[in-house]
Protein backbone atom coordinates (compact mmCIF):
# COMPACT_ATOMS: atom_id res chain seq x y z
CA UNK A 1 0.00 0.00 0.00
CA UNK A 2 1.42 3.39 -0.96
CA UNK A 3 1.76 6.13 1.72
CA UNK A 4 -1.14 8.17 0.36
CA UNK A 5 -3.51 5.20 0.49
CA UNK A 6 -2.28 4.34 3.98
CA UNK A 7 -2.98 7.86 5.18
CA UNK A 8 -6.46 7.78 3.67
CA UNK A 9 -7.20 4.45 5.32
CA UNK A 10 -5.91 5.74 8.66
CA UNK A 11 -8.04 8.88 8.36
CA UNK A 12 -11.11 6.78 7.63
CA UNK A 13 -10.36 4.55 10.60
CA UNK A 14 -9.90 7.55 12.89
CA UNK A 15 -13.23 8.98 11.69
CA UNK A 16 -15.01 5.72 12.48
CA UNK A 17 -13.39 5.55 15.93
CA UNK A 18 -14.49 9.11 16.65
CA UNK A 19 -18.01 8.35 15.43
CA UNK A 20 -18.19 5.33 17.73
CA UNK A 21 -16.93 7.40 20.66
CA UNK A 22 -19.50 10.16 20.13
CA UNK A 23 -22.24 7.57 19.71
CA UNK A 24 -21.32 5.86 22.98
CA UNK A 25 -21.22 9.18 24.86
CA UNK A 26 -24.71 10.05 23.64
CA UNK A 27 -26.00 6.57 24.42
CA UNK A 28 -24.65 6.68 27.97
CA UNK A 29 -26.27 10.09 28.40
CA UNK A 30 -29.67 8.78 27.28
CA UNK A 31 -29.46 5.63 29.42
CA UNK A 32 -28.44 7.72 32.45
CA UNK A 33 -31.48 9.95 31.96
CA UNK A 34 -33.82 6.95 31.75
CA UNK A 35 -32.28 5.40 34.88
CA UNK A 36 -32.74 8.65 36.79
CA UNK A 37 -36.44 8.85 35.90
CA UNK A 38 -37.04 5.16 36.69
CA UNK A 39 -35.14 5.32 39.98
CA UNK A 40 -37.12 8.34 41.14
CA UNK A 41 -40.43 6.64 40.26
CA UNK A 42 -39.47 3.51 42.19
CA UNK A 43 -38.50 5.59 45.23
CA UNK A 44 -41.53 7.85 45.36
CA UNK A 45 -44.44 5.74 44.07
CA UNK A 46 -45.66 4.90 47.62
CA UNK A 47 -45.88 8.60 48.48
CA UNK A 48 -47.59 9.32 45.19
CA UNK A 49 -50.22 6.62 45.75
CA UNK A 50 -50.92 7.84 49.26
CA UNK A 51 -51.06 11.56 48.51
CA UNK A 52 -52.13 12.08 44.91
CA UNK A 53 -54.02 9.13 43.44
CA UNK A 54 -57.14 9.66 45.57
CA UNK A 55 -57.34 13.44 45.16
CA UNK A 56 -60.05 14.96 42.94
CA UNK A 57 -59.25 15.83 39.36
CA UNK A 58 -57.41 19.13 38.92
CA UNK A 59 -55.07 20.92 36.52
CA UNK A 60 -52.16 20.41 38.88
CA UNK A 61 -52.83 16.70 39.17
CA UNK A 62 -53.03 16.23 35.39
CA UNK A 63 -49.81 18.19 34.85
CA UNK A 64 -48.09 16.18 37.55
CA UNK A 65 -48.97 12.82 35.97
CA UNK A 66 -48.10 14.00 32.48
CA UNK A 67 -44.74 15.27 33.64
CA UNK A 68 -43.95 12.11 35.57
CA UNK A 69 -45.03 9.36 33.19
CA UNK A 70 -45.05 10.83 29.68
CA UNK A 71 -41.30 11.36 29.98
CA UNK A 72 -40.80 7.74 30.95
CA UNK A 73 -42.98 6.55 28.06
CA UNK A 74 -40.92 8.61 25.59
CA UNK A 75 -37.52 7.72 27.07
CA UNK A 76 -38.03 3.97 26.59
CA UNK A 77 -38.32 4.10 22.76
CA UNK A 78 -35.62 6.79 22.74
CA UNK A 79 -33.18 4.38 24.38
CA UNK A 80 -34.32 1.59 22.07
CA UNK A 81 -33.69 3.65 18.94
CA UNK A 82 -30.60 5.64 19.91
CA UNK A 83 -28.77 2.66 21.41
CA UNK A 84 -28.76 0.89 18.06
CA UNK A 85 -31.48 -1.65 18.85
CA UNK A 86 -34.05 -0.54 16.28
CA UNK A 87 -33.88 -1.91 12.71
CA UNK A 88 -36.63 0.40 11.40
CA UNK A 89 -34.86 3.79 11.26
CA UNK A 90 -32.63 3.19 8.27
CA UNK A 91 -32.83 6.44 6.27
CA UNK A 92 -32.75 10.20 6.71
CA UNK A 93 -36.50 10.71 6.40
CA UNK A 94 -37.29 8.38 9.29
CA UNK A 95 -34.50 9.91 11.35
CA UNK A 96 -35.98 13.36 10.74
CA UNK A 97 -39.47 12.25 11.80
CA UNK A 98 -38.16 10.59 14.95
CA UNK A 99 -35.84 13.47 15.85
CA UNK A 100 -38.58 16.01 15.19
CA UNK A 101 -41.00 14.25 17.51
CA UNK A 102 -38.39 14.02 20.26
CA UNK A 103 -37.27 17.64 20.25
CA UNK A 104 -40.83 18.97 20.03
CA UNK A 105 -41.95 16.74 22.89
CA UNK A 106 -38.90 17.84 24.88
CA UNK A 107 -39.98 21.46 24.48
CA UNK A 108 -43.60 20.76 25.36
CA UNK A 109 -42.86 18.62 28.42
CA UNK A 110 -39.51 19.82 29.81
CA UNK A 111 -40.21 23.50 29.14
CA UNK A 112 -43.97 23.90 28.96
CA UNK A 113 -45.23 21.43 31.57
CA UNK A 114 -42.30 21.66 33.99
CA UNK A 115 -42.36 25.45 33.75
CA UNK A 116 -46.09 25.47 34.50
CA UNK A 117 -45.68 23.21 37.54
CA UNK A 118 -42.93 25.32 39.06
CA UNK A 119 -44.66 28.62 38.36
CA UNK A 120 -47.82 27.27 39.99
CA UNK A 121 -45.83 26.82 43.18
CA UNK A 122 -44.72 30.45 42.93
CA UNK A 123 -48.37 31.34 42.43
CA UNK A 124 -49.13 29.65 45.75
CA UNK A 125 -46.76 32.07 47.47
CA UNK A 126 -48.33 35.16 45.87
CA UNK A 127 -51.93 33.95 45.59
CA UNK A 128 -53.34 37.03 47.32
CA UNK A 129 -51.34 39.48 45.18
CA UNK A 130 -53.25 41.44 42.55
CA UNK A 131 -52.52 40.48 38.93
CA UNK A 132 -50.32 37.56 39.98
CA UNK A 133 -52.18 35.29 37.56
CA UNK A 134 -51.24 37.54 34.62
CA UNK A 135 -47.62 37.67 35.78
CA UNK A 136 -47.38 33.89 36.01
CA UNK A 137 -48.91 33.44 32.55
CA UNK A 138 -46.50 36.02 31.09
CA UNK A 139 -43.51 34.27 32.67
CA UNK A 140 -44.67 30.93 31.33
CA UNK A 141 -45.03 32.34 27.82
CA UNK A 142 -41.50 33.78 27.93
CA UNK A 143 -40.23 30.46 29.23
CA UNK A 144 -41.98 28.28 26.66
CA UNK A 145 -42.56 30.18 23.40
CA UNK A 146 -39.00 31.21 22.35
CA UNK A 147 -37.47 27.70 22.66
CA UNK A 148 -40.49 26.15 20.97
CA UNK A 149 -40.37 28.60 18.05
CA UNK A 150 -36.61 28.24 17.49
CA UNK A 151 -36.86 24.46 17.67
CA UNK A 152 -39.67 24.33 15.11
CA UNK A 153 -37.75 26.73 12.88
CA UNK A 154 -34.65 24.54 13.08
CA UNK A 155 -36.68 21.46 12.19
CA UNK A 156 -38.25 23.18 9.21
CA UNK A 157 -35.19 24.92 7.78
CA UNK A 158 -32.01 23.28 9.08
CA UNK A 159 -32.52 19.60 9.86
CA UNK A 160 -34.27 19.08 6.54
CA UNK A 161 -31.08 19.98 4.64
CA UNK A 162 -29.66 16.76 3.09
CA UNK A 163 -26.69 15.43 5.02
CA UNK A 164 -27.53 17.21 8.29
CA UNK A 165 -29.45 14.40 10.01
CA UNK A 166 -28.19 11.06 8.72
CA UNK A 167 -28.40 7.36 9.43
CA UNK A 168 -25.03 5.99 10.62
CA UNK A 169 -24.89 2.27 9.78
CA UNK A 170 -21.74 1.59 11.80
CA UNK A 171 -23.63 2.33 15.04
CA UNK A 172 -27.16 1.66 13.73
CA UNK A 173 -28.51 5.04 14.88
CA UNK A 174 -29.30 8.56 13.69
CA UNK A 175 -26.46 11.05 13.72
CA UNK A 176 -26.37 14.86 13.63
CA UNK A 177 -23.95 16.72 11.38
CA UNK A 178 -23.79 20.38 12.31
CA UNK A 179 -26.12 22.47 14.45
CA UNK A 180 -28.11 25.70 14.02
CA UNK A 181 -26.01 28.57 15.36
CA UNK A 182 -29.06 30.51 16.57
CA UNK A 183 -30.25 27.85 19.03
CA UNK A 184 -28.10 29.40 21.75
CA UNK A 185 -30.84 32.06 22.03
CA UNK A 186 -33.05 29.53 23.86
CA UNK A 187 -31.01 29.69 27.04
CA UNK A 188 -31.15 33.45 27.85
CA UNK A 189 -34.96 33.31 27.96
CA UNK A 190 -34.88 30.32 30.30
CA UNK A 191 -32.27 31.94 32.54
CA UNK A 192 -34.26 35.20 32.58
CA UNK A 193 -37.41 33.50 33.86
CA UNK A 194 -35.46 31.48 36.42
CA UNK A 195 -33.84 34.70 37.65
CA UNK A 196 -37.24 36.37 38.04
CA UNK A 197 -38.54 33.35 39.93
CA UNK A 198 -35.50 33.45 42.20
CA UNK A 199 -36.05 37.15 42.86
CA UNK A 200 -39.70 36.58 43.74
CA UNK A 201 -38.79 33.77 46.11
CA UNK A 202 -36.01 35.85 47.67
CA UNK A 203 -38.41 38.72 48.32
CA UNK A 204 -40.98 36.39 49.85
CA UNK A 205 -38.28 34.84 52.03
CA UNK A 206 -37.26 38.28 53.30
CA UNK A 207 -40.88 39.23 53.90
CA UNK A 208 -41.44 35.97 55.73
CA UNK A 209 -38.48 36.49 58.05
CA UNK A 210 -39.60 40.07 58.80
CA UNK A 211 -43.07 38.90 59.79
CA UNK A 212 -41.76 36.50 62.41
CA UNK A 213 -44.17 33.79 61.21
CA UNK A 214 -42.79 30.26 61.00
CA UNK A 215 -44.98 28.25 58.65
CA UNK A 216 -43.62 24.82 57.67
CA UNK A 217 -45.60 24.74 54.40
CA UNK A 218 -44.31 28.12 53.32
CA UNK A 219 -40.77 27.18 54.29
CA UNK A 220 -41.05 24.07 52.13
CA UNK A 221 -42.30 26.12 49.17
CA UNK A 222 -39.39 28.50 49.53
CA UNK A 223 -36.96 25.60 49.86
CA UNK A 224 -38.32 23.84 46.79
CA UNK A 225 -38.13 27.01 44.77
CA UNK A 226 -34.48 27.54 45.61
CA UNK A 227 -33.52 23.91 44.97
CA UNK A 228 -35.32 23.96 41.64
CA UNK A 229 -33.81 27.27 40.60
CA UNK A 230 -30.23 26.28 41.44
CA UNK A 231 -30.54 22.89 39.74
CA UNK A 232 -32.21 24.33 36.65
CA UNK A 233 -29.73 27.19 36.43
CA UNK A 234 -26.78 24.80 36.56
CA UNK A 235 -28.42 22.61 33.94
CA UNK A 236 -29.07 25.57 31.65
CA UNK A 237 -25.48 26.77 32.00
CA UNK A 238 -24.19 23.26 31.27
CA UNK A 239 -26.35 23.05 28.15
CA UNK A 240 -25.23 26.48 26.95
CA UNK A 241 -21.55 25.58 27.46
CA UNK A 242 -22.09 22.24 25.77
CA UNK A 243 -23.72 23.95 22.78
CA UNK A 244 -20.88 26.45 22.42
CA UNK A 245 -17.81 24.22 22.88
CA UNK A 246 -18.80 20.58 22.27
CA UNK A 247 -18.50 18.93 18.86
CA UNK A 248 -21.66 18.99 16.76
CA UNK A 249 -22.20 15.28 17.32
CA UNK A 250 -22.45 15.89 21.09
CA UNK A 251 -24.97 18.71 20.91
CA UNK A 252 -27.63 16.57 22.66
CA UNK A 253 -25.22 15.13 25.23
CA UNK A 254 -26.33 17.43 28.08
CA UNK A 255 -29.94 17.75 26.93
CA UNK A 256 -31.15 14.31 28.04
CA UNK A 257 -29.83 14.34 31.65
CA UNK A 258 -31.14 17.89 32.04
CA UNK A 259 -34.51 16.78 30.69
CA UNK A 260 -34.68 13.95 33.24
CA UNK A 261 -33.46 16.18 36.09
CA UNK A 262 -36.09 18.85 35.46
CA UNK A 263 -38.78 16.16 35.35
CA UNK A 264 -37.66 14.64 38.65
CA UNK A 265 -37.37 18.00 40.42
CA UNK A 266 -40.82 19.12 39.34
CA UNK A 267 -42.31 15.87 40.65
CA UNK A 268 -40.40 16.08 43.93
CA UNK A 269 -41.73 19.57 44.60
CA UNK A 270 -45.26 18.14 44.72
CA UNK A 271 -44.29 15.08 46.74
CA UNK A 272 -42.35 16.88 49.48
CA UNK A 273 -44.83 19.39 50.82
CA UNK A 274 -44.46 19.72 54.56
CA UNK A 275 -47.44 18.95 56.81
CA UNK A 276 -49.06 17.07 53.94
CA UNK A 277 -49.86 13.51 54.91
CA UNK A 278 -53.25 12.84 53.30
CA UNK A 279 -54.92 13.37 49.90
CA UNK A 280 -57.14 16.07 51.45
CA UNK A 281 -54.11 18.02 52.61
CA UNK A 282 -52.38 17.62 49.24
CA UNK A 283 -55.50 18.93 47.51
CA UNK A 284 -55.57 21.96 49.82
CA UNK A 285 -51.87 22.65 49.27
CA UNK A 286 -52.09 22.52 45.47
CA UNK A 287 -55.46 24.13 44.76
CA UNK A 288 -55.33 27.13 42.44
CA UNK A 289 -58.46 28.88 43.69
CA UNK A 290 -59.99 29.41 47.10
CA UNK A 291 -63.33 27.64 46.84
CA UNK A 292 -64.46 27.90 50.43
CA UNK A 293 -64.39 25.29 53.17
CA UNK A 294 -63.95 21.74 52.02
CA UNK A 295 -66.82 19.31 52.36
CA UNK A 296 -64.41 16.61 53.24
CA UNK A 297 -63.89 15.38 56.74
CA UNK A 298 -61.93 17.74 58.96
CA UNK A 299 -60.89 15.02 61.34
CA UNK A 300 -57.22 15.57 62.24
CA UNK A 301 -54.70 13.08 61.01
CA UNK A 302 -53.57 10.94 63.94
CA UNK A 303 -49.90 11.03 64.81
CA UNK A 304 -47.18 13.26 63.49
CA UNK A 305 -46.97 14.05 59.82
CA UNK A 306 -44.42 12.18 57.75
CA UNK A 307 -43.09 15.51 56.52
CA UNK A 308 -42.92 17.06 59.96
CA UNK A 309 -40.01 19.18 60.99
CA UNK A 310 -37.67 18.51 63.87
CA UNK A 311 -38.59 16.18 66.69
CA UNK A 312 -40.77 17.71 69.37
CA UNK A 313 -42.46 20.11 66.94
CA UNK A 314 -46.19 19.79 66.67
CA UNK A 315 -47.57 19.57 63.19
CA UNK A 316 -50.74 21.03 61.82
CA UNK A 317 -53.18 19.49 59.42
CA UNK A 318 -55.37 21.58 57.17
CA UNK A 319 -58.50 20.29 55.55
CA UNK A 320 -59.38 22.82 52.87
CA UNK A 321 -58.10 25.47 50.53
CA UNK A 322 -59.16 28.27 52.92
CA UNK A 323 -56.70 26.95 55.48
CA UNK A 324 -53.89 27.30 52.97
CA UNK A 325 -55.01 30.82 52.09
CA UNK A 326 -55.05 31.77 55.79
CA UNK A 327 -51.65 30.20 56.29
CA UNK A 328 -50.12 32.06 53.36
CA UNK A 329 -51.98 35.23 54.24
CA UNK A 330 -50.17 35.56 57.57
CA UNK A 331 -47.30 37.24 55.84
CA UNK A 332 -47.37 40.98 56.18
CA UNK A 333 -48.26 43.02 53.14
Mean of pLDDT values over 277-284: 78
193 has a pLDDT exceeding 80:
yes
User: Which is more confidently placed, 306 or 266?
Assistant: 266
What is the predicted pLDDT for the residue at 38?
93
In angstroms, the CA 82 to CA 32 distance is 13
Lowest mean pLDDT among 15-29, 182-196, 206-220: 206-220
Mean of pLDDT values over 55-59: 87
Going by pLDDT thresholds of 50, 70 and 90, the confidence category of residue 39 is very high
Averaged pLDDT of the chain: 75
Beta-bridged to residue 167, according to DSSP, are 174
Per-residue pLDDT tens digits for 297-318: 334 444 444 433 333 333 333 3
What is the predicted pLDDT for the residue at 289?
65
Write down the domain spans for the chain: 19-279
When computed from its CA atoms, the radius of gyration of the chain, rounded to whole angstroms, is 24
In angstroms, the CA 2 to CA 214 distance is 81
69 has a pLDDT exceeding 90:
yes
What is the predicted pLDDT for the residue at 64?
92
Mean of pLDDT values over 1-26: 71
CATH number 3.40.50.1820 is the correct assignment for the domain at 19-279: no
What is the predicted pLDDT for the residue at 161?
78
Q: Which helix (H) or strand (E) holds 167?
A: strand 165-168
Going by pLDDT thresholds of 50, 70 and 90, the confidence category of residue 37 is very high
What is the predicted pLDDT for the residue at 20?
78
User: Which is more confidently placed, 286 or 33?
Assistant: 33
Q: Are 9 and 1 in contact (CB under 8 A)?
A: yes
Per-residue pLDDT tens digits for 219-231: 655 565 677 777 7
Going by pLDDT thresholds of 50, 70 and 90, the confidence category of residue 113 is very high
pTM for this prediction? 0.75
**% of the chain residues with pLDDT over 90:** 12
Mean of pLDDT values over 178-204: 82
Per-residue pLDDT tens digits for 131-169: 888 999 999 999 999 989 988 888 888 777 777 777 777
278 has a pLDDT exceeding 70:
yes
12 has a pLDDT exceeding 80:
no
In angstroms, the CA 128 to CA 149 distance is 33
Residue 283 CB-half CA count within 13 A: 19
Question: In the 8-state DSSP scheme, what is residue 77?
Answer: H
DSSP 101-166: HHHHHHIIIIIIIHHHHHHHHHHHHTTTSTTHHHHHHHHHHHHHHHHHHHHHHHHHHTTTSTTTEE
Closest C-alpha among 287, 323, 328, 253 to residue 33: 253
Amino acid sequence: MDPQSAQAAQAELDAEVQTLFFARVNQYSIVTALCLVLYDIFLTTPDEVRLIWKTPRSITKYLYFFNRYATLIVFIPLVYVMCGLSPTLSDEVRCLVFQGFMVVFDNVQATGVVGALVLLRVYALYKNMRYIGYIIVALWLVYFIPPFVTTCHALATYFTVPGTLVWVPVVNMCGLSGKPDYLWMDWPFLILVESIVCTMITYKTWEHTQSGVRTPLLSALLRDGWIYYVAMLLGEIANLINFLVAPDALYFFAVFPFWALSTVLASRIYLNLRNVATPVEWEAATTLWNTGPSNRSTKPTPGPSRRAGSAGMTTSSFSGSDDLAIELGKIKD
